[in-house]
Amino acid sequence: HRLEVLERIRLVLGQQAAALQTGQTLAGSKPQVELEIVQNQQADLAKPSFLVLDKLSDDLAAEEGREKTVEERVKGRESAVADARKSFQEAERASKAAREALDGSSDEAARILLSEKWNAAEAETRAASETLRLREYELDGERAERDLFRLRLSGLRARVNQLEEAALFTQQDLEEALATIRRREFDLNTRKAAAEMERVDSEAIFSRARERLEASGGADPALKEEVEARRRERALRQREVAILGERLQRLSDQREVWRRRKVTVNEETVPEELGAWEKASRETLEQLTFAHGRQASVIADLRRDLRALEERIATAKEGSPAPDPAVVRWLEAQQRHLTALVRLEEDNLQSIEETRRLNEKLIAEISRDVADWSPREWFKQIRKVLAWGWNFPLIESQGVTVGKILTAAILFVFGFFVSRRLTRSFEERVLKRSRLAKGAASALRSITYYVLLALSSVIALKVANVPLTLFTFVGGALAIGFGFGSQHVINNFISGLILLIERPIQEGDLIDLSGTMASVVRIGPRCTHVRTASNVDIFVPNSSLLQNNVINWTASDSTVRTQIAVSVAYGSATREVAKVLRKVADEHGKVLKKPEPLVLLTNFGDNGLDFVLQFWIQQSADTNRLVVESDLRFMIDKYFREAGIEIPFPHRDLRIRSGEPLDVRLLREQETAEKDAD
């Protein structure tokens, strides 16, 4: 065991020497790297080139992507040093324990075993110590490599920043980039033409191989593998033609992106074009991102198929009793075609990534250009956006835009206020001085307002250049859209117009709505505002006033007839009763003298003589019919008492006809109970 440990120590010492030398080499190369950075910066300043800047930007992006990996490698080395230190400490404790056991033993035989154990522990401690030193050397080397990476990265950033200030995107740079694209297009077109011919040949070869397989009955394994190989070759050629076409299209897109980059970097464009270019590049980025994910998935599937095919080849080569050379040959042919397809798909993935990076650069350059805009350019861009929104077509066939609708809306609101103002002025200067009734004046005021509002709406549409034929379409759309949901609103509006024109009800009229007395306050476009005697406001839909029975107490004449019924006891002087009732009517101030009140003896009732006092009153908001009737009843009761006239209670008189006298007995309560018990 000790020899094994010593051999391990020897190997570790060799690794230490290599790690130490690597660390020293990395540390010694730092001045050389710094010198290269300075020389590169001077060369860049001597001949600043945008293409060099573009390449350095790609290199910088790649190196920044590696930065995290470099840091993780250092952390891994630090973790390895910690583990090695822990192992060394454990070995040290084990060696110390073995030494104490050896020193504490007095038995010679036991001391020999303990001595060997201690020597082995010492060897383990030495091995752990040397392993710890090796891990420390490796950590130093990793840190030195990280420092060099950081130095190169900072130098690369400095070069990029320097060239961004000094490099100009010249026409020569653009021509070089386009020349590179043209060379690549030529190569791809050449490959595509060859692939087209190979595709035709591969299809013919595949057809012949399949015919041979069908003719043989499908029993020959080598022929089966040949058909599969020919099928894979045909698929390879078909996919090659398709991929080369896609790459040619991307090169065409790259050519346009390069032209836009030159114009953007040199600030030779207008803000309108920048917005359109940025939008187009973002849409292209979305498509390329989707294609990138799909392409990566295809490559992963092909690699799985390739691994499975390699396992089949290995199994075929180990066949028993002997491998079939023909089968192996065709399996290897399948492997070559599949490997070529994987490389083809990888090249396509690289083309997608290249085009994606180019569009990302254009978007970044547009963003930097936009960030440098002056307030005047921002104002122009905002004005352009507003103009686009103002002229945005809502109905292209009718020429209706957002601007026209907004203009019509503003003019309509203005016309609304003007119509109200003119209507109010017409009411104050004309209607109030005329001799029209209050209801007629109110109806004329409302009709004038509606006419002015409709006229202002038509004027607004004409000024905004909104064609009136639009409403033929809009009317149909509204009828379909609102349907039955709006029929009640329209019904009430039309009913309101009918009420204003026919005037069956006017403002100030006293009406009876299903037993509720109320005065009309205002007739609106949708509902009529009425107020009861209890000062309760009620808003009645206009259609209800036309569809239901409504009593208008003041429609043509505010004079109405009412009556009070009263009964007196039989035997009362009927003429005296009539005089008292007439006196009551004459003395009340609300009862009209003309037509005269009328007292009628209407019936010989069960309880008494029935009289009716008919009289006329002027019905208005100030005269409540029920109050007048109540006052008259109080007066009738008072005057009847003074005249000794009795108002009878409800009663029934019983008359019994019998030939013999009635036997009437008075019984005590106890006798009655005993009699009932019997």
Mean pLDDT of 93-111: 80
Identical topology for domains 400-508 and 559-643: no
Beta-carbon contacts of 425 under 8 Å, excluding residues fewer than 6 positions away, are none
Express each pLDDT in 243-268 by its tens digit. 999 999 999 999 999 998 888 888 77
C-alpha–C-alpha distance, residues 90 and 88, integer Å: 5
Residue 584 burial class via C-beta count within 10 angstroms: exposed 0-12, middle 13-18, buried 19 and up: buried
- Could you read off the pLDDT of 128-185 as tens digits, one per residue? 888 888 888 888 888 888 888 888 888 888 888 887 777 788 888 889 889 999 999 9
- The answer to whether the beta carbons of residues 313 and 229 sit under 8 Å apart is no
Under 8 Å between Cβ of 507 and 439: yes
Residue pair 2/117 in contact (Cβ under 8 Å)? The answer is no
Q: Can you spell out the DSSP letters for 3-62? A: HHHHHHHHHHHHHHHHHHHHHHHHHHTHHHHHHHHHHHHHHHHHS--HHHHHHHHHHHHH
If you ran DSSP here, which 8-state letter would residue 427 be given? I
Q: Where are the chain's structural domains? A: 2-166, 172-387, 400-508, 559-643
Q: What is the mean pLDDT of residues 610-630?
A: 83
Tokens describing residue 490 = 């329209």
Mean pLDDT of 374-383: 58
pLDDT reported for residue 320: 56
Q: Is residue 320 packed enough to be buried (19+ CB in 10 Å), middle (13-18) or exposed (0-12)?
A: exposed
Q: Which residues pair with 566 in a beta bridge?
A: 611
pLDDT digit string (tens) for 573-615?
889 999 999 999 888 888 888 888 999 999 988 888 999 999 9
Contact 143, 74 (CB under 8 A): yes
Q: Which residue has the higher pLDDT, 480 or 147?
A: 147
Task: Give the full edge-to-edge strand order of the sheet including 559-568.
Answer: 559-568, 609-618, 598-604
Is 482 a residue whose pLDDT tops 50? Answer: no
Instruction: Answer for the pair 306, 339: CB distance below 8 angstroms, yes or no.
Output: yes
The domain made up of 559-643 is a member of CATH 3.30.2020.10 = no
- The residues pairing with 112 across neighbouring beta strands, listed in sequence order, are none
CATH 1.10.287 fits 2-166, yes or no: yes
Strands 510-513, 516-523: parallel, antiparallel or unpaired by DSSP? antiparallel
pLDDT band at residue 200 using 50, 70 and 90 as cut-offs? very high
Q: How far is CA 315 from CA 10, 250, 336, 449, 608, in A?
A: 42, 42, 17, 99, 131
Q: Residue 212 pLDDT more than 70? A: yes
User: Cα–Cα distance between 430 and 436 in angstroms, integer?
Assistant: 10
Instruction: Write out the two tokens for 352.
Output: 């997608």
Lowest mean pLDDT among 331-335, 350-354, 486-490: 486-490
Instruction: Look up residue 275 and give its two tokens.
Output: 């917005």
Residue 481 binned pLDDT confidence (cut-offs 50, 70, 90): very low
pLDDT at res. 137: 87
Place of tokens 């009430």: 492
Backbone angles phi, psi at 321, to 5 degrees: -80, -25
Closest CA to 609 of 645, 651, 553, 569: 569
The values of phi and psi at residue 558, to 5°, are -85, 0
Q: Report whether pLDDT(439) > 60.
A: no
What is the average pLDDT value for the chain, to the nearest integer? Answer: 80
Mean pLDDT of 409-436: 73
**Strand 527-532 relative to strand 537-541, pairing:** antiparallel
Pick 61 or 654 by higher pLDDT.
61
Between 329 and 110, where is the model more confident? Answer: 329
Q: Are the CB atoms for 592 and 615 separated by under 8 Å?
A: yes
- Highest average pLDDT, of 328-337, 372-381, 460-469, 484-493, comes from 328-337
| Angle between helix 2-28 and 30-46 (nearest 10) | 30
**In the prediction, which pLDDT does 8 show?**
79
Mean pLDDT of the region 475-479 = 50
Interval 516-538: pLDDT, tens: 778 788 777 778 888 887 778 88
Cis peptide before 595 (omega within 30 of 0): yes
DSSP assigned state of 615: E
Percent of the chain with pLDDT over 90: 20
What top-level class would CATH report for the domain 400-508?
mainly alpha
